[in-house]
Structure 1
Amino acid sequence: MAETPSVPTFDHAMYLINVVKFRCGQLYHLFDENEFMANLHDFYSEPKPNAATGLWYVHFLLILAFGKGFVKHKVQGNRPPGADYFVKALEMLPDVIVLHEAPIESTEVMCCIALYLQALDCRSSAHNYTYGLKSRMHRLTSLLQIGQAMRMAMAEGMHTQMPIEYLGENMVQRCRKIWWTVYILDREMTSLMGLPQTLNDDQINTLLPSFPGSPQRTAAIGMHIRLSRIIAEINGSVYAIDGRINRNFLVRTKSALANIASLADELRRAFPLQMDRDISGVSRISAYLHLLYHQCIVLATRPLLFCFLKIRFESPANCIEVLNTSRTVRNLIQMSMDSAQQIICILHSLQNEGLLETFLSFDLESIFVSTVVLLMGPAIDIRWTYPIWLEKAYAIFEEIIESGNLLAKFRRSELHLLDELLSCFPQEHPRCLSAPVSFPNNVLNSSSQVSLANSFPPSGQANSADAAAQTQLEHDILSDRGSGVGVPALDDQELGFTNRLTAEQIMAVADSIESIDTEWMSNAMIEHSIW
């Protein structure tokens, strides 16, 4: 059994608790403040606080583990900050029978355990920390914890409209906060594992929690829930059960993009990214929701990159010719590229504000997803080369690594390996696309009223002026690959998010997906054995 770590002083404990509230309290409910703080004061009121054996003390150790993870940027060997508190909390965790005697706090405790384990990436067998958790550290641990929390919450009826007249306002509001935290974690962790969802949304009829004096928090939870549902939908429809790509995934992509588009304008209006630093800083909660939104776009469109990367492997000379066959497909890939760049923009702004999340996996997942896309782009076609954005991406990785995140170091090494593998492609310049596909300075800007479905001329139908412009564009690409095609240098104006996808623009791309595109993509997958 691990030794009980020293308990911090009351002032230090308050500091760590407040850090936890700031870092993840707006996204997840990990403890009830009134009850938790009352127990905290009782604990420190003793002349010499002793290690209790009750559930609250386990809960307290878990919160301290989070606090240490957020504020301590040095690791001891392979032990992440707060590991001592976390290991001790697991050792002292009561058995299931005892947990069911206090289901409300037990569910909060299991959410804490699942979220901490997710921060250590225990869902990945390729990277395993060896700091004393032994057999508990396997890829399903965090998912099993949140699954147990889900069952316990449902057993208490938290997914239903619990009667306020019998339970009281405070209890019902607490249960609503717990339920939606469990729900979001379950949706996101299950999707990360590539597993099917186990709970149908039709079985849930509880309301969102209310926060007196802060209606924005309720709105944030509602948006978080909707984005989590879209992620689950994408993983369950665009991708097949066995982890491969569905043959008719373009049809599912169209549906997913329509759902994403339904949130675009509301997200921008309710959670604006205040990028004018002379007025205000970046909102962490707004940034998180926008990051999740762009991850949805990348997840929905990324299969196309994998398909064409496979084609590039097999038929390097024919890849661009195949790509030019469907302007709809080009639009979708460019949308993926654009969202990857927007993710880096948001993270770069958070980095400037000192708000990068270096312990939990939120920002690490975002930067990893976007960097993979930007590395794949130029391997398919040189027009999708964005070295400035990659430079910014690796700078963000460096900061997360320097903050003591061991997993970020491993993820960066994976990206370097991917970059090396993709660099093995022949270096000759492939044919460029038949028409400009630069979203930031062309069709996807705030003043554009042109439907994306009509923004590209069919292959082989460009007039002489277009051909001359294309020749000049190809010359510009070859002479200066440093800034990317149609993408300005990464300056303060670009970080102001002047080029964001509106609902109308996303729907234009989605509506351009016709049955002929699906059939064409299906045939290409069969021809190149993409399954």
Structure 2
Amino acid sequence: MAGVEQARKRSASVCARCRRQKIKCSGSYPCHSCSKRGLSCNFNKMDQKVLVTRGYISELQQKIARMEKHIQGHHDVCNSIGDTNILVQPPTLTSLDPVDCEGIAGNERSTSPNDIEDSEEAGDHDGLVNPLVTGPPAFMSPGNERIFYLGTSSNWSFTRRVLSVAHQHVHKEPLPTESLIFEGASYNLDWDGWRTDPMLANPIIPSLDHAQYLINAVGFRCGGLYHLFDETDFMKSLHDFYSQEPPSRATVKSLWYIHFLLILAFGKSFTQHQSQGRKPPGTEYFVKALQLLPDHYFLYSSPMISTEILCCIALFYQSLDCRSPAHNYVGQAMRLAMAHGMHTDMPIRDLGLHAVERCRKIWWTVYILDRHMSSIQGLPQSIDDRFVQAIPPSFPGSPERARRLSMHIKLCRSIADINSTVYAVDGRINRRFLLNTKVALSNIAGHADELRETFPLYLDGTDLGIPRTSAYLHLLYQQCVIVATRPLLFCFLKIRLESPEKCIEFLNKSRNIRNLILMCIECSQHSIEILHSLKSQGLLENFLNLDLESVFISTVVLLIGPIIDPVLVDDYPRWLEKAYAIFREMVASGNEVAKFRWTELQQLDMTLHATSQDNACNPAESALSLQSDAVPQLLLPETGYALASMDHSPGSHTPFIENNNLDAECGLGPMPSSAEMMAMADSIEIYHAEWVSSVMIDHDIW
């Protein structure tokens, strides 16, 4: 009737906040009320009624029955990859009610991140399972009293899992962990850890000009990525220190002196490549700084310099492959910084511009180190981004530094997103692994164009050199994609070990799954190409493990790819030899961590090569014997690939390239644009997850 307002139709969907507030909800995502207030909008579909067929419920019940049968028959298996040297807790099965699984049946539209979260709340369990996080946690022991946790997203853990499952398949016995190198075994600090150790003499302090040279080396090598000291305050204290003859007792027991020793340790490590046996350069300064470090009660009295000190210790430990102490010290730095409010938008009017700017630099260094080291350890992040209100420092007169820090923060947030979704704890989110990978790739794709346009690398043969910091950001971007997609490599490696024919058949059935694996491999090739260019210009980082982590995870991918399908990697021998040439360069520069990582990769190469043979290889006949006394002979920088004398076919094992002409073009295309990355992510649909999920269950990928 005219003039009479028609009754509005009530929305069939109400968000959680509107339901709680008992107000009208528009039913859209996000709803008008939440969007107006800038609040997160979540829809709980547990209360939504949907209609499903009896056949659909029967199919779900059959899947649950297969899962229960699988767990029942394998309850005494030590872990999800079959290595009896890995210690785990007994597996459990979470019961699933078929009527809770209406997410896929009621979803006939494109999937957004919120849709994924909502479908998980609805109990949707169809989707590819990430075998690196499914099931009970895994541990590995080197044969002594210590036990190491195999973190979910850890590069080291991923390699150990691949090596374990391949060794078990080839030799029908667990991987002998006594032959492997574990954390903290690469270097020897000549210190028992006690601060009262009388054997620790005061190190020789260099002259003023030598000290300035070492400090400048630290600024050049680290200044573009991290804030380790405030130049104004640090250099003022430096000149005050050298003006005293001799330095007073109060000075050598101050926090600045500890900070000074740590910077000298970095400077020595950057400028002196030859180690004293297994004792890296600068160790005497580092150990003395640790011995003088006071209790946290005193550190909290000077939060800015104390946080800088803790960051220095964490980064130095990380470079020595002491990942657990590094993660511990950066965690202490994080808590100290938050206790001082550095994660907030600190007021300049109350605290002063210099102090606020310094706190901002400190905070974002702590944030970046925490995100990176947590990912390397495969552990949860320390702080949720919702509680971070700090803004980046202004860097007046240097917009390049501001853009560089902004991109570094974005990539570290991508790392955290991957850890919290793709490598989520065993549970509802994990059952949507493939769709979570889609979300992760969508988030990463947004950085591709900005990275290429703002930080070009000039890899096309121009006369311009590669900017060192830009190269690191590109490598970090490639690592994000690799870490997000490599669980698929592990899944299909296990299928390949079970049946090569089935592996090829499954890959051919889903073009999108194959493309994701190709993306992982191509990102590894991009990383190798960037590192090879850095090597040719003498810019490889040999102490900080940034380049080492990149070449390590990329080489593992290149080793697995051809085993899954020989056509996945074009010109495989040349790519692998490029990677090994980078390792030889690092080893020649005295990097003990690179030496042991390379040894482990060669062992993995040999084991994966044996999986492609009809009969398992005999370890006694291999050039890569597991005996520790054979290791040094394998790693001489001037030698070629250790298995050069063997006859290898493409796609299995790598022959040594006689002419060593590694600058030849390997057929690598340009890095995908943001649009291409988004197109790849958008191509992943729910039915892909459903299909691969059934493959994983049927073929024991747990």
**In the TM superposition, what are the counterparts of 1:114-513 in structure 2 within 5 Å?**
114-123=314-323, 140-241=324-425, 246-275=430-459, 278-385=462-569, 386-427=572-613, 491=663, 499-513=670-684
Distance 2:204 2:331 in 1: 31
The equivalent residue for 1:45 is 243
How far residue 525 of structure 1 moved from its aligned partner, in angstroms, is 1.3
The equivalent residue for 2:687 is 516
- Provide the identity percentage: 58
Distance 1:27 1:16 in 2: 18
Structure 2: which 5+ residue stretches go unaligned? 1-196, 615-648
Distance 1:275 1:249 in 2: 35
How far residue 321 of structure 1 moved from its aligned partner, in angstroms, is 0.8
Distance 1:320 1:186 in 2: 40
Q: Which has the larger radius of gyration?
A: 2
TM-score (norm 1): 0.83
**Structure 1 contact 248–522 (Cα < 8 Å) conserved:** no
How far residue 493 of structure 1 moved from its aligned partner, in angstroms, is 6.2
**Structure 2 contact 574–666 (Cα < 8 Å) conserved:** no
Pair 1:82 & 2:253 matched: no
Q: Deviations over 1:273-315 (max 9, x none)?
A: 1235654210011100000000011111101100000001112
Distance 1:83 1:178 in 2: 24
Equivalent of residue 310 in structure 2, options 93, 100, 110: 110
The equivalent residue for 2:233 is 35
Letter in 2 for 1:95: D
Equivalent of residue 17 in structure 1, options 215, 218, 228: 215
Distance 1:17 1:198 in 2: 31
Letter in 1 for 2:214: L
Structure 1 residues 254 and 278, CA, compared in 2 at 3 Å: closer, same or farther? closer
Q: Deviations over 1:51-95 (max 9, x none)?
A: 711000000000011111111111112211111110000000111
Letter in 2 for 1:156: H
Distance 2:654 2:344 in 1: 56
Distance 2:613 2:285 in 1: 52
Letter in 1 for 2:226: Y
Structure 1 residues 498 and 416, CA, compared in 2 at 3 Å: closer, same or farther? closer
Number of equivalenced pairs: 462
The equivalent residue for 1:69 is 269
Letter in 2 for 1:393: A
Distance 1:56 1:242 in 2: 45
Q: Deviations over 1:330-388 (max 9, x none)?
A: 10011111100000111011111111000001000000010000000111011134111
Structure 1 residues 501 and 41, CA, compared in 2 at 3 Å: closer, same or farther? same
**Structure 1 contact 291–343 (Cα < 8 Å) conserved:** yes
Letter in 1 for 2:574: I
Deviates more, 1:190-199 or 1:415-424: 190-199
Distance 1:406 1:237 in 2: 34
The equivalent residue for 2:298 is 98
The equivalent residue for 2:258 is 58
Distance 1:316 1:75 in 2: 46
Q: Deviations over 1:160-190 (max 9, x none)?
A: 1111112111111100000000011111111
Distance 1:347 1:314 in 2: 35
Letter in 1 for 2:268: K
How far residue 529 of structure 1 moved from its aligned partner, in angstroms, is 1.8
Q: Deviations over 1:167-218 (max 9, x none)?
A: 1111111000000000111111111111112311111111111112211111
How far residue 427 of structure 1 moved from its aligned partner, in angstroms, is 4.0
SS of 2:430 mapped into structure 1: coil
**Structure 1 contact 58–92 (Cα < 8 Å) conserved:** yes
SS of 1:248 mapped into structure 2: helix
**Structure 2 contact 573–650 (Cα < 8 Å) conserved:** no
Structure 1 residues 381 and 67, CA, compared in 2 at 3 Å: closer, same or farther? same
**Structure 2 contact 560–608 (Cα < 8 Å) conserved:** yes
SS of 1:22 mapped into structure 2: helix
Structure 1: which 5+ residue stretches go unaligned? 124-139, 429-475
SS of 1:322 mapped into structure 2: helix
**Structure 1 contact 358–405 (Cα < 8 Å) conserved:** yes
Distance 2:654 2:576 in 1: 13
Distance 2:423 2:388 in 1: 25
How far residue 47 of structure 1 moved from its aligned partner, in angstroms, is 2.9
The equivalent residue for 1:133 is none
Distance 2:369 2:264 in 1: 20
How far residue 319 of structure 1 moved from its aligned partner, in angstroms, is 1.3
Distance 1:24 1:367 in 2: 20
Indicate the RMSD between aligned Cα atoms, in angstroms: 2.3
Letter in 2 for 1:42: D
Letter in 1 for 2:320: L
Distance 2:383 2:535 in 1: 37
Pair 1:5 & 2:203 matched: yes
How far residue 242 of structure 1 moved from its aligned partner, in angstroms, is 6.2
How far residue 240 of structure 1 moved from its aligned partner, in angstroms, is 3.7
Letter in 1 for 2:596: F
**Structure 2 contact 368–409 (Cα < 8 Å) conserved:** yes
Structure 1 residues 477 and 58, CA, compared in 2 at 3 Å: closer, same or farther? closer
Letter in 1 for 2:387: Q
The equivalent residue for 1:463 is none
Letter in 1 for 2:491: C
Distance 2:388 2:558 in 1: 38
**Structure 2 contact 275–281 (Cα < 8 Å) conserved:** yes
Distance 2:459 2:701 in 1: 42
Letter in 1 for 2:344: T
**Structure 1 contact 58–89 (Cα < 8 Å) conserved:** yes
Structure 1 residues 277 and 49, CA, compared in 2 at 3 Å: closer, same or farther? farther
Distance 2:612 2:332 in 1: 51
How far residue 508 of structure 1 moved from its aligned partner, in angstroms, is 1.3
**Structure 2 contact 370–382 (Cα < 8 Å) conserved:** no
Pair 1:528 & 2:681 matched: no
SS of 1:318 mapped into structure 2: helix
SS of 2:300 mapped into structure 1: helix
SS of 2:692 mapped into structure 1: helix
How far residue 253 of structure 1 moved from its aligned partner, in angstroms, is 0.6
* Greater share of residues in helix: 1
How far residue 477 of structure 1 moved from its aligned partner, in angstroms, is 7.4
Deviates more, 1:262-271 or 1:276-285: 276-285
